[in-house]
Amino acid sequence: MRRLLRLNFRRSPVAWVIALAGAALSVLLAGRGTVLSLGGSFDTAMRDGAVRRPTGQPQLVSIEPLPQSLSQSLSMMDGEMCQWMPASSSEGLVAALRQARPALLSQGVGGPAARAASAAAADGHTSLALERPPVRTIRDSFPTYSAVAVDVRNNEIVLQDENLFQIMVYDRMANTPPAATMTEPKRVISGPLTKSEFNCGLYIDPQTGDIYSVNNDTLDTLVIFSRNARGNVRPDRELHTPHRTYGIAVEEANEEMYLTVQDPPMVVVYHKYAKGEEKPVRVLRGNRTGLADAHGLGLDTKNGWMFVANYGSAAAYADEGGNAVGTGTSLATEGTAMVPGSGRYYPPSITVYPIQASGNTAPLRTISGPNTTLNWPAHIYVDEEQGEVFVANDGDNSIVVFRVTDSGDVAPTRVLKGPRTLIQNPTGIFVDTVHNELVVANMGSHSATVYPRAAQGNTPPLRTIRSGPLGQPALMIGNPGSVAYDTKRNEIIAPN
């Protein structure tokens, strides 16, 4: 999953800069000629003899001030930039650095003595790691729900916690009182033995109650637990899956399990009881498929259709596509690789295929366009009885419903959205056809909300399961790849 977080910066900028400098000094840089630059001029450092010779060991080279203004640094970048909101902060990082530099020098950071010590350490083939506690930590201590499924036979709601890497099981009728901090789950599956990390997809076997859990960004493993599993237990079965697997659906009649892969975009189909290193029985992959950062997946076995939700980013396959797992690399020797520089952004979409589609098969039809209001469509659910497709519309804070026959730039038949719904960044969705209810996992509010099956408009939930205090926002941090600091707004930005 990918999202961009902007976190307010509320501590003293001077203290933060000192902490950043200390943290930077603790990074060990490998390779010949690799340098750590915290300020000053590289040419000046060379003249001063701070850099002795390439040793393959860490050396502090110089201290280098940041640009005098944000506009100066932006002017060096090519291409169009996004229009940002007016800044609300009066103090930027540059001013903080100017204030912090004397304090850093007084601590021996960046001065001649420090540079000489670093060079001497490198000459002696030793390295020095400075260990300091962080000034503060940005972390969400509450579970964050990414997917949901209902065990209708056992009257239980199962939720994926992608934040703390847990699978949480609740009574179906659980309802957190407004004054309560949270609802206690009946069972929790969690711990290193479970092999659960960034768990984002969920399926419940309708007969046995077995829990199928998809891991997205790290472990590349589908794990299956028995219904009564709890605690730090090993999975009953494991299946090695492609990197960035996300959605899951199962056709019980043929005992086939469908999985979406975000990048490179694919649908891989396995035998339902596959395990270990078993290969998929077929793969939908190629430049004609319209798959673009594939997420949610739903099956209409009544009409023989497969529905896939796409965020919209994709690159071209070197071999055009085929019935084989794509590598996602840029190696020219691998025909299933993506072509470097071919990446594009497309509008979010729902693409529809024959349920047995494989290879480079074009969709039968596509739902996409401004009238659809699709914005980061995450998990989807096909209600075969009513002929409807439910979409957890993450970026729009809404649930949108289409007819299974819809095509093109069409408006949803129903939209569930508004402050009374309590829907916030919905990523998971399940239609309980037995009890005529709709269950939504809200990644933005530590909650799962339950509605009548045909709810629309600004309808409040029938029940709410919360894993945190009422009104407590979820940070939605998931596998952050980097971090940046907005000098105008005193905010920390973390792409996930």
Residues making up the chain, counted from first to last = 496
* All residues at 6 or more sequence positions from 75 whose CB lies less than 8 Å from its CB, including other chains: none
Predicted confidence at residue 98, as pLDDT, reads: 46
Q: What pLDDT is recorded for position 234? A: 97
CA distances from 277 to 44, 45, 171, 196 (A): 56, 53, 35, 18
Looking at domain 145-466, its CATH class is mainly beta
What is the C-alpha to C-alpha distance for residues 16 and 159, in angstroms, rounded to an integer? 37
In DSSP terms, 157 is beta-bridged to 150, 170
CA distance 366 to 457: 25
Distance CA 5, CA 144 (A): 15
Q: How far apart (Å, rounded) are the C-alpha atoms in residues 165 and 195?
A: 9
The pLDDT assigned to 330 comes to 47
DSSP 205-267: -TTT--EEEEE-SSS-EEEEE-TT--BS---SEEEE--TTEEEEEEETTTTEEEEEETTTTEE
Domain ranges of the chain: 7-137, 145-466
**Which residues lie across from 147 on neighbouring strands?**
160
H-run or E-run covering 184:
none
3-class secondary structure per residue, 98-165? HHHHHHHHHCCCCCHHHHHHHHHHHHCCCCCCCCCCCCCCCCCCCCCEEEEEEECCCCEEEEEECCCC
In this structure, the strands spanning 491-495 and 484-486 are antiparallel
How high is the pLDDT of residue 323?
85
**Cis before 469? omega within 30:** no
Q: Which of 59, 58, 56 is nearest to 48 (CA)?
A: 59
Q: pLDDT (tens digit, 9 = 90+) per residue, 195-215?
A: 999 999 999 999 999 999 999
Distance between CA atoms of residues 138 and 491, nearest Å? 12
> How far is residue 493's CA from residue 477's CA, in Å, rounded to a whole number?
11
pLDDT of residue 445: 93
Give the burial string for 203-239 (b: 16+ CB within 10 Å, else e): bbbeeebbbbbbbbbebebbbbbebebeeeeebebeb
* pLDDT for 328: 62
Task: State which residues of the chain have pLDDT below 70.
Answer: 1-130, 327-335, 479, 496
Asked if residues 283 and 269 have their Cβ atoms less than 8 Å apart, the reply is yes
Q: What's the confidence (pLDDT) of residue 5?
A: 56
Q: What's the angle, vertex CA 206, arms to CA 205 and CA 207, rounded to 5?
A: 95
Q: Report the alpha-carbon distance of residue 152 to residue 172 in Å, rounded.
A: 9
pTM of this prediction?
0.74
pLDDT at site 91: 43
State the Cα torsion 308-461-395-305 to the nearest 10°. Answer: 10
Q: What is the pLDDT of residue 482?
A: 80
Going along 244-348, which residue ranges are E strands?
A: 245-251, 256-261, 266-271, 282-284, 294-300, 305-310, 313-314, 344-345
Contact 91, 145 (CB under 8 A): no
In this structure, are residues 58 and 31 in contact, taking their beta carbons and an 8 Å threshold?
Answer: no
E-assigned strand segments in 336-486: 344-345, 349-354, 365-368, 377-383, 388-393, 398-403, 414-417, 426-432, 437-442, 447-452, 463-466, 484-486
Query: 73-123 pLDDT, tens per residue?
Result: 444 444 444 444 433 333 444 444 345 444 444 554 445 555 555 555 555
In sequence order, which residues have a C-beta less than 8 Å from that of residue 43 and are 6 or more positions away? none
CB 390 within 8 A of CB 399: yes
Amino acid at 209: G
3-state secondary structure of 304: coil
CA distance 30 to 34: 7
